[in-house]
Chain A
Amino acid sequence: MIDVLPTNPEELAARLSEPGWLKEARTGAQAVFEAVPWPTRKTEEWRYAAGRLKEVPFELPLALPRGRRLSRDQLPAGVKRRLAEAELAGFLVFVGADLVYAELPEELKAKGVVFTSLHQALAEHPERVEANLYKAIPARQKGDANDKLPALAAALWTHGVFLYVPAGVEIGGPLGVFHVAEPGELAIGRTLVLLDDHAQAAYIEEHLSEKPGAAVHLGMTELFLRPGARLAHANVQTLNPESHRLYRQRAVLEKDAALNDLMVNLGARFARAEVGSELVGPGADSEMLGVYFAAGDQHHDHHTLQHHVAPHAKSDVYYKGTAKDRGTIVYQGLIKLEPTAQKTDAYQTNRNLLLSREASVESVPQLEIAANDVRCSHGSSIAPIDEEQLFYLATRGIGRKGAENLLVAAFLEDVLGRIALKNLAAYLARVIEEKVRG
């Protein structure tokens, strides 16, 4: 773990030709980073992940943009495979910190949709970026260990995505972003999504590795949904098993805005995802789904936050996953209702299936309720694969592997069924099947 920033944020801002306000924000974040401690086992939110955090090689060199561009034919094979089946309306491809390829139909551009790199947006839409960047995930929130990574990310991010959908514009097909990790680098990225009033979009961000070798990816995603906006959002990581991935996401939902969110952790050695929704407008609806599968020595760590500020809003977390080999899975979730959040419907469900003796799971679903006219519940369960079902399938000639695959698929069936992006759900079902068999 590092105690001082490996790169000077002012120099970085200069190198990336950034405006003054951003340079100041970076140096402000540097001060936070240096002031707050690293999370330890005693940091409540990190009690099950502090050990893994220690192993993350933050000392790897920071991935910097090198001006690489690729033609569509030159795109990495993994990306091309996904493109063939993903039916995307437009997409961006990053290799390391470089945006190497971008595609967006003229028709969407004409409607005012902006889908580009964050630095490009800084040049072309500076006021929109300045008004929103860091607003959902500031460098400093409580001034404790939980700020360490957001501060690091705020000070040293080198690349990112900007999506803006103007009021009333509906995009239809999903937009995709592929991040191909480069081994031996520390990559720090940001995503900023702005949906204006009654805009609609679907956005998928995938993180994958083309080559073996340890890499670190630190990512922060800020989603702003103005009144009546609807967003289907997915973040999928299938990084190689030496990688480390640290991710935080905050969505801000205004009146009647609706989010269908999906967090998928299948790869990496250590993957931590903190996914939160702030329901600040009445009628807002946040559906938050999660799918994970830890095998080998993988550790998948999930934190959800449903923060209800406005009345008459709804949120529903459904995280489901499984662990085999020595895999460990963690779910910690919080429904927090402010006194102003009367008439809230908030639910939280976490279900875990353990496939092997060495696998383990920690589940901590939490409620903090300060309003009384509400409907809130949470449930959590941990269960083994049903031996009776295995036996039944065996008597029908289905071997252990096949039966396990069938039962894992059945276990995940309902959460995959709730994913708004059907095409993506089918892809995930396939990856999961490979993982059970592997």
Chain B
Amino acid sequence: MPEDLKHIADDYRWGFRDEVEPELALKGLTPETVRKISEAKGEPAWMTEFRLKALEAFFKMPMPKWGPDLSALEQKLDDFYYYVKPPSRGPAESWEEVPEEIKKTYERLGIPEAERKVLAGVGAQYDSEVVYHKIKEELEKKGVVFVSIEEGLKEYEELFKKYFAKIVPPTDNKFAALNSAVWSGGSFVYVPPGVEVEVPLQAYFRVNTAGFGQFERTLIIVDEGAKVHYIEGCTAPLYTTEALHTGVIEIYVHKNAHSRYTTIQNWPTNMYNLVTQRAIVEEGGYHMWLDGNLGSKVTMKYPSSILKGRGARSEVLSIAFAKTGQHLDTGAKLIHLAEDTSGQIVSKSISKGEGRSSYRGLVKVSKNANRARANVECDALLIDPESKTDTYPYMEINNETAQIGHEATVSRLADDQIFYLQTRGLPEDEAAALIVRGFIEPVAKELPLEFAVELNRLIELEMEGSVG
């Protein structure tokens, strides 16, 4: 193992690291790296071509000039590992087949337990390769596909090709281009017409190599009248060097289909987290993005819904918690292309210490989107005098029948609230934690139970000794 893969720091909750030697590790951003990734995955020629073109686009596009400072990242793009293949025997079908070392890691992550509770299937990603994957039999019987993105390309190439990169083309933005060139890992989901998946599909991701950027790619297709809830959780050990995560999530919600994508990222605070998430929603369809951002050094993520069909609806609910050293630049986009489309954005952010949270959003109503409606609510809570928050909502309205509203508030932890709760016997930091939990409640109540519990625990931890 190269020397720079051996750094480890212990003080992060998930900060354990497994002694697993990777089989193949590709560093640096070159066409050679891209070709090797494609080759290692045994991809068809069109995909190799696609990747190389995307890499070209990446080099041509400038770094974003707005938002968080990415200059440090730009300097070290060549130092990251763009592909790491762990020494496993490939996807395992059952828990027993998973290597002991890796199993231990998952046990610490609580995955088997979670599975026993609510999981329909687990696509657990260990570095770039999916080593453990399971789908309940009844889902398979209904024709639901829930596999790794690589398997999706291999086994369902026609379907894959029809949607892949159609929602987020490589040229969409610089980091979508990067992901398109080096993507590895992620999920491929297809829900056939009329099938309702009652239990959420979950995938756990874990980055396990220092300096290694994770480039997962997920493609979800919800066919007519179908219903699905996909959950992704992200967590990674802490490394002494900065890391990069650049994901692309594409979701196609067909006529009258219903989908929900939930993700909570708790990356360590030296991670650049630059993600493109976009859904296209057809007539009568509904899509919800539920987005939690707790970790990372810098996050830039603006889940988007393109309301393409008449009456399509979308909701984006998000929570951000920025602490000292973090700049979380998150938001949402609603693009109304058709009549009677409607959307709702609720964003709750908390800044603590010198943390900075920014909301950046867009509501766009095109000429033909008669009677489009959208409502945006952004609330920021500031804990300390040094805490920062920004709000940048864009509204571009080209139809006179649209009804669009945006409201934002900035408030701080109020002394009178703390005093009130204290007179009921709650210690000061518990009172503060309770107020913070209350503040995010409108979004948190939509979270799956185990996420909500974890979030509450985290807030309590963060608020300990934070006031007074």
Contact = CB atoms under 8 A, between A and B. Distances in A.
A59 interface: no
Nearest to B376: A380
A371 B400 CA distance: 38
Contact of A362 (B386, B397, B406): B397
Interface string A337-371: 00100100000000010111101111111111111
Contacts of A376: 409-410
A368 B390 contact: yes
B406 A360 contact: no
Contact of A363 (B382, B385, B395, B407): B395
A357 B390 contact: no
A2 interface: no
A403 interface: no
Contacts of B397: 352, 354, 360-363, 382
A270 B409 CA distance: 33
B376 to A, nearest CB: 9
Given A366-B390, A367-B410, A377-B410, A359 B400 contact: yes
Interface in A371-408: 371-384
Interface string A122-136: 000000000000000
Interface of chain A: mostly helix, strand, loop or mixed: strand
Given A355-B400, A360-B397, A369-B389, A377 B407 contact: yes
Contacts of A24: none
A375 B381 CA distance: 11
B408 interface: yes
A357 B411 contact: no
B400 A373 contact: no
A378 B408 contact: yes
A18 interface: no
Interface string B417-457: 00000000000000000000000000000000000000000
A414 interface: no
Contacts of A354: 397, 399-400, 402
Contacts of A87: none
A417 B283 CA distance: 45
Nearest to B383: A372
Contacts of B390: 366-369
Contacts of A342: 385
A44 interface: yes
A362 B380 contact: no
A301 B69 CA distance: 29
B123 to A, nearest CB: 39
B404 A382 contact: yes
Contacts of A372: 382-387, 412-413
Contacts of B404: 380-383
B410 A382 contact: no
B240 interface: no
A378 to B, nearest CB: 5
B400 A380 contact: no
Contacts, number: 109
A349 B401 CA distance: 21
Contacts of A380: 393, 395, 404-406
A357 B399 contact: yes
B396 interface: yes
A158 to B, nearest CB: 36
A194 to B, nearest CB: 34
Nearest to B359: A367
A377 B408 contact: yes
B380 A369 contact: yes
Contacts of A365: 391, 393, 406, 408
Given A361-B397, A382-B395, A367 B385 contact: no
B388 A373 contact: no
Interface residues of A, number: 35
A384 B412 contact: no
Given A372-B383, A372-B412, A374-B412, A384 B391 contact: no
Contact of B385 (A44, A361, A364, A373): A373
Given A339-B386, A360-B397, A372-B387, A384 B402 contact: yes
A159 to B, nearest CB: 38
Contact of A384 (B401, B407, B413): B401
Contact of B396 (A362, A368, A369, A384): A362
B385 A339 contact: yes
Nearest to B362: A364
B406 A379 contact: yes
Contacts of A381: 403-406
B46 interface: no
Contacts of B156: none
B398 interface: yes
Given A44-B66, A381-B406, A384-B403, A361 B387 contact: no
B344 to A, nearest CB: 15
Contacts of B406: 363, 365, 378-381
B284 to A, nearest CB: 24
Residue of B66, B391, B400 with most partner-chain A CB within 10 A: B400
A15 to B, nearest CB: 41
A378 B391 contact: yes
Nearest to A378: B408
Given A355-B400, A380-B405, A380-B406, A373 B412 contact: yes
Contacts of B50: none
Contact of B394 (A355, A362, A367, A384): A362
A383 B403 CA distance: 5
A37 B350 CA distance: 38
A382 B375 CA distance: 10
B372 to A, nearest CB: 10
A360 B400 CA distance: 7
Contacts of B388: 368-370
A136 to B, nearest CB: 25
Contacts of B393: 364-366, 380
B383 to A, nearest CB: 7
A201 B53 CA distance: 65
Contacts of B408: 365, 367, 377-379
Contacts of A355: 400
Contact of A377 (B383, B394, B409): B409
Contacts of B402: 354, 382-384
A218 B182 CA distance: 51
B411 A367 contact: no
A379 B392 contact: no
A364 B394 contact: yes
B325 to A, nearest CB: 16
Nearest to A328: B398
A210 B341 CA distance: 47
12 contacts: A339-B386, A357-B399, A365-B391, A366-B392, A368-B390, A369-B410, A370-B388, A373-B385, A374-B382, A377-B408, A378-B391, A382-B403
Given A372-B382, A384-B401, 13 more contacts: A342-B385, A354-B397, A354-B400, A357-B399, A361-B395, A362-B396, A366-B390, A366-B391, A366-B393, A367-B408, A372-B386, A382-B397, A384-B403
